[in-house]
Amino acid sequence: MKNLSALEPKRVFEYFEEICSVPHGSGNMEQISRYCLDFAKRHGLRAVRDAANNVVIYKNGTAGYEASAPVILQGHLDMVCQKTEDCNIDFENDGIRPYVDGDFVKAEGTSLGADNGIAVAMALAILASDDIAHPPIEALFTTDEETGMYGAMALDAKLLSGKRMINMDAEEPGTVTVSCAGGSNFLMTLAYTPIRVRGTHITLRIAGLQGGHSGIEIHKGRVNADMLMGRILHEARAVGDFRLIGVNGGDKGNAIPLACSAELVVENAQVFVQKLQYSMDMIQKEIIDREPNASLKVSVGEMGEFDVLPQADSDKLSQLLLCAPCGVMDMSVSIEGLVETSLNLGILKTQSGVVELLFTLRSNKQTALDFLEKRLFALAKTFGCSTKTDGHYPSWEYKADSVLREHYKACYKDLCGGEAKVEAIHAGLECGVFASKIPGLDCIAIGPALFDVHTVKERLSISSTAETFALVKQILAKCK
C-alpha cells in the first residue's frame, strides 16, 4: 500500500513512507539503523554505525563540488510513540500507517514521527539523487533524541569531518534556529528527623494554575505552584503556630508545577484556617490576571497524631522557598524576546525524613549556567541542604559569523519571498551537543511545518515539506 506515492517531492515521501513502515520508537533503534545501512549499501555509499546505533552515510560532492568542504545533514531516527486507545499497533514490531488529508500527512491512530523521520527522508532523497548539486555530504542520523539525546551524546565526532551542519529537526517554516539552551538538573535535599505531634490536620491546596514547559514558556508570567506555597507557608507562620507534615507539588523537572499541597498540624484550627484563608484570598486576587483559574484553599481534617518536621527544619524549608531564585534570570540582548538564563523548581516532594527540591536550569550561555549552579550550591549550603547535579547538556551559542545562516536567509528570500525569521530557543537541541563536540561548528536548524508533535494528532504539511526540501537543495548548491 503506497499511500504517499502521489506526493511531491516524490523521493522524500517515498522514503518517509518506508521509514513509517519500520518500527522506530525511542529505545527501539536496531531496525531503523539497519534500514539506513541497507539503504547505503543499495546505493553504493560508505556508511558507519556506532555502538549507539547512530549512522553516518557519506557521499562525494557532485561535479564541480568534488573539493568543497563537506556539509553534515542531520536528523534523529527515533520518534515519540503515542496511540489512541482503540489502536492495535504494537510499536515494538509494527510500522505506522500514514495517510494524506488535504495538505497534511497524518497517521492512523498514532503519532506520525515526522519528528524527525521527515529529516531522515530528506537526507536519504539527497543521498539517492543524481540530479542535485551538492558538496560532499555526511548524513548523520542519531538515536534516542526524544528521551535524552543519548545518540548525539555518545557520538564520536571523529566520524565527521564537516564543520557545517544543517539540522532538520525544527518545526517552523520560514524560521532558522541559530542557538539553543544548555541545561542541567539540580537537586537539593533537606533531611530531617520526624517527630510525632498531636493536633488537627490542615491541608493547603493550590490548584488550577496553567503550568507549562519550563523552557519555552518560562517567560509567560505563569505562577509556579511550589514557589507560591513557600509564600503561603510564610504567611501561615505569621497567622499562628503550625507543624509541617510535608509539602508536595509537581512531578516533572521540565514542567512548571500547576498544583501543590501542604499538610500541617495546628492546635487551634478554626482561627488558623479563617485567618490563613483570608491571606490566601488576597494572594489569589493579586495573581488573578496571571492565573485566572487559580484556586487557593485551606481545609480542616481530623484530629490525631502526625509525623512532622521539627520546627527549625520547617522554618528552613519555607525560608529556602522564599529565597530560592526561580523563573527568568536574564533576557538576551542579541536576540529579541529570547530568555537567556532561567530555572524552574519542578518538583517539591516530602517523603520519610527528606524534602527534595528539583530545579531545572537552562542558559544559552554556558558560563551563565555554571554561575547559576554556583548560586544554588551557595543557597543549599546556607540552608544545610545536600545537593546533586546531573543531566547536563551543552548550549549552542549564537555564532555572529554564520555563513549557513546567511545562505538560509538569501535562499528563503529567493524561493519564498520575504525575510526569514532568525530564532533561538530556550530549550535543549542536539545542535548544542554537536556544537560542543565540533569546535567552530557552523550550524542551522530548519524544518517543515509540523503540528501537535508527540501526540496522535501529529501532522506534517506537504507543501511546507516541498518548500523546505527546495531550500535545503538551494543552500547545498551555495556550499561550494
Which residue numbers are catalytic? 78, 145
User: Taking the complex as a whole, how short is the minimal distance between the CB of residue 193 and Zn ion, in angstroms?
Assistant: 46
Q: How many CA atoms lie within 13 A of 36 on its CB side?
A: 34
Q: Return the C-alpha cell found at 126.
A: 539527497
Q: What is the CA radius of gyration of the chain?
A: 26
User: Taking the complex as a whole, how short is the minimal distance between the CB of residue 80 and Zn ion, in angstroms?
Assistant: 8
Q: Name the residue nearer to Zn ion (CB basis): 115 or 313.
A: 115
Rounded (10°) CA dihedral 367, 372, 377, 378: 110
Question: What is the spatial distance between Cα 367 and Cα 394, in angstroms, rounded to a whole number?
Answer: 11
Of 78, 115, 235, 291, the residue at the interface with Zn ion (CB under 5 A) is 115
User: Taking the complex as a whole, how short is the minimal distance between the CB of residue 11 and Zn ion, in angstroms?
Assistant: 22
What mask, x for binding Zn ion by CB under 5 A, covers residues 135 to 174? Answer: ----------------------------------x-----
User: Taking the complex as a whole, how short is the minimal distance between the CB of residue 118 and Zn ion, in angstroms?
Assistant: 10
User: Taking the complex as a whole, how short is the minimal distance between the CB of residue 443 and Zn ion, in angstroms?
Assistant: 15
Under the binding rule (CB under 5 A), the answer on residue 78 touching Zn ion is no
Q: Name the residue nearer to Zn ion (CB basis): 80 or 477.
A: 80
Q: How many CA atoms lie within 13 A of 478 on its CB side?
A: 18
User: Taking the complex as a whole, how short is the minimal distance between the CB of residue 6 and Zn ion, in angstroms?
Assistant: 27
Q: Name the residue nearer to Zn ion (CB basis): 74 or 179.
A: 74
Q: Name the residue nearer to Zn ion (CB basis): 116 or 179.
A: 116
User: Taking the complex as a whole, how short is the minimal distance between the CB of residue 81 and Zn ion, in angstroms?
Assistant: 13
CB < 8 Å & 24+ apart, contacts of 221-225: 221/290, 222/256, 222/290, 222/291, 223/287, 223/290, 223/291, 223/294, 224/256, 224/257, 224/326, 224/327, 224/344, 224/345, 225/249, 225/250, 225/256, 225/257, 225/258, 225/259, 225/260
- Burial of residue 122 (CB within 10 Å: 0-12, 13-18, 19+) is buried
Question: What is the spatial distance between Cα 361 and Cα 476, in angstroms, rounded to a whole number?
Answer: 36
Question: What is the spatial distance between Cα 167 and Cα 76, in angstroms, rounded to a whole number?
Answer: 9
Question: What is the spatial distance between Cα 164 and Cα 159, in angstroms, rounded to a whole number?
Answer: 14
Strand partners, 296: 206
* Number of residues forming the site for Zn ion (CB under 5 A): 3
Q: Name the residue nearer to Zn ion (CB basis): 22 or 317.
A: 22
Question: What is the spatial distance between Cα 119 and Cα 298, in angstroms, rounded to a whole number?
Answer: 51
- List the interface residues with Zn ion, window 211-230 (CB under 5 A): none
Under the binding rule (CB under 5 A), the answer on residue 116 touching Zn ion is yes
| Unique residue bearing C-alpha cell 544548555 | 182
Under the binding rule (CB under 5 A), the answer on residue 235 touching Zn ion is no
- Binding part of the chain for Zn ion, among 89-97, 113-121, 259-267, 326-334 by CB under 5 A, reads 113-121
Q: Name the residue nearer to Zn ion (CB basis): 169 or 458.
A: 169
Residue 78 identity (one-letter amino acid)? D
Q: How many CA atoms lie within 13 A of 110 on its CB side?
A: 24
Question: What is the spatial distance between Cα 250 and Cα 385, in angstroms, rounded to a whole number?
Answer: 20
Q: Name the residue nearer to Zn ion (CB basis): 214 or 284.
A: 214
Site residues, Zn ion (CB under 5 A): 115-116, 169
